């Protein structure tokens, strides 16, 4: 059936209302977002906003030019051509958005911004909903009039998003414990989020207290071999034979058990399971009660030069198919070398996963 314009507009307003008020995930609104809908009117304290460029819908979100809202909200507006960021500022509150970024920065911390910042006719456009959140300004949608109002006199009300049944995201953190582990644990604790730490035995041996902290804070442990010799050209490559691989896992398992009393079932092959972990390896893992977990969402945070936090978040969004993958297993690293960019990216990654309706789980 072809949708009439009137019906399409109604559908859009309903979708917007759901997105604004009830916390619908991207999946619910995606089909409607593609219909090139007419955006609703926006007012600030009841006064209509005069737009530099017309608002539009993306990913089920209303996207607006930032500059047009800065003035009525009494924020200064500044484009920094070196940093390629736009900063809006009022008193002590300072928030910046950037083109091509799905994060905004507030008080030095990166947060999920819903949509990618986009330049239209020279103006940076961002999600209205996330802008209201960033500036702590209340946002209400009147379904009768179809008007969205921002009220600077009232704070933003966060709406708890409903988890989608069956959608579970697994954050997995490889190669530690390492110098960046405490910072990652702090972020996870702040968000009441859980993750699975795939430990290298040799690293765990150096930092048993950190292993205990990971467990004490409710996270799961995984076994990532004792020596992590992951290059096929290395003589002690851990996947050179079934016996060698099981010996590596057993050595790591003994150490983890010595420190914590736990025997993690989850294992991960250094460098990944594919293509070396053949049926013979799988059979041996089964017999020992181990379960191999490859990742299906990478962040490229192992690469040099390191990707930016913006790029890492984008990898997670794109590789989880914009939230339509049922069980993303996300790979990030706390070791072997520095991963400060990953620590920086983690808050926005968690916020994105929850926005998309995922519950955070641990393996196995």
**One residue of 37, 55, 270, 328 binding Zn ion per CB under 5 A:** 270
- Which one of the listed residues 111, 228, 333, 339 is annotated catalytic? 333
Q: Minimum distance between the CB of residue 269 and Zn ion, rounded to whole angstroms?
A: 9
Q: Smallest distance from the beta carbon of 227 to Zn ion, in angstroms?
A: 11
**Segment 161 to 190, residues that bind Zn ion, using CB under 5 A:** 174-175
Q: One of 59, 149, 174, 175 is an active-site residue; which one?
A: 174
Please say if 333 is a catalytic residue: yes
- CA angle 238-243-246, nearest 5°? 65
Q: Is 149 in the site for Zn ion (CB under 5 A)?
A: no
Stretch that binds Zn ion, among 16-24, 108-116, 242-250, 268-276 (CB under 5 A): 268-276
For residues 139 and 178, which CB has a smaller minimum distance to Zn ion in the complex? 178
**Least distance from C-beta 328 to Zn ion, angstroms?**
18
Cβ distance to Zn ion smaller for residue 15 or 252: 252
Q: Which stretch binds Zn ion (CB under 5 A): 149-157, 212-220, 267-275, 310-318?
A: 267-275
d(CA 126, CA 119): 9
In whole angstroms, the minimum distance from the beta carbon of 264 to Zn ion comes to 15
CB of 9 to Zn ion, least distance (A): 51
Closer residue to Zn ion (CB): 28 or 175: 175
Q: Is 310 in the site for Zn ion (CB under 5 A)?
A: no
Interface with Zn ion in residues 227-246 (CB under 5 A): none
- Residues 98-117, one symbol each (x = binds Zn ion by CB under 5 A, - = not), give --------------------
Q: Rounded to the nearest whole angstrom, what is the least distance from the CB of residue 278 to Zn ion in the complex? A: 20
- Enter the tokens of residue 86: 């736009």
Is the CB of 175 or the CB of 292 nearer to Zn ion?
A: 175
Catalytic residues: 174, 333
Give residues in contact with Zn ion (CB under 5 A). Answer: 174-175, 270
């Amino acid at each position: 059936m072809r949708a009439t314009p009137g019906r399409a507009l109604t559908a859009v307003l309903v979708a917007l209302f759901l997105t604004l008020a009830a916390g619908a995930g991207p999946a619910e609104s995606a089909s409607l977002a593609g219909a090139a809908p007419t955006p609703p009117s926006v007012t600030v304290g009841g006064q209509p906003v005069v737009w530099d460029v017309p608002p539009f819908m993306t990913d089920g979100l209303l996207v607006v030019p930032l500059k047009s809202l800065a003035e009525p909200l009494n924020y200064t507006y500044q484009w920094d051509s070196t940093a390629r960021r736009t900063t809006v500022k009022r008193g002590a509150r300072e928030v910046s958005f950037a083109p091509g970024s799905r994060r905004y920065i507030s008080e030095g911390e990166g947060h999920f911004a819903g949509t990618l910042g986009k330049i239209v006719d020279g103006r940076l456009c961002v999600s209205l909903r996330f802008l209201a959140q960033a500036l702590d300004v209340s946002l209400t949608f009147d379904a009768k009039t179809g008007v969205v109002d921002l009220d600077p006199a009232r704070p933003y009300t966060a709406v708890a998003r409903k988890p989608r049944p069956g959608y579970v995201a697994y954050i997995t953190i490889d190669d530690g414990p390492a110098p960046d582990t405490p910072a990652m644990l702090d972020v996870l604790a702040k968000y009441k989020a859980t993750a699975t730490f795939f430990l290298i035995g040799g690293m765990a041996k150096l930092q048993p207290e950190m292993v205990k902290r990971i467990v004490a804070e409710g996270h799961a442990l995984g076994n990532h071999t004792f020596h992590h010799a992951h290059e096929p050209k290395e003589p002690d490559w851990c996947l050179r034979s079934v016996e060698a691989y099981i010996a590596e896992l057993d050595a790591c398992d003994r150490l983890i058990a010595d420190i914590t009393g736990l025997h993690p079932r989850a294992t991960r092959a250094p460098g990944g399971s594919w293509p070396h972990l053949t049926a013979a390896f799988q059979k041996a893992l089964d017999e020992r009660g181990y379960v191999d977990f490859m990742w299906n969402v990478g962040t490229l945070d192992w690469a040099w030069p390191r990707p930016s936090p913006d790029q890492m978040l984008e990898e997670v969004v794109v590789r989880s198919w914009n939230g339509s993958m049922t069980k993303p297993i996300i790979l990030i690293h706390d070791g072997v070398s520095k991963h400060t960019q990953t620590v920086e990216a983690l808050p926005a990654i968690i916020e994105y996963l929850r926005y998309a309706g995922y519950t955070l789980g641990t393996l196995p």
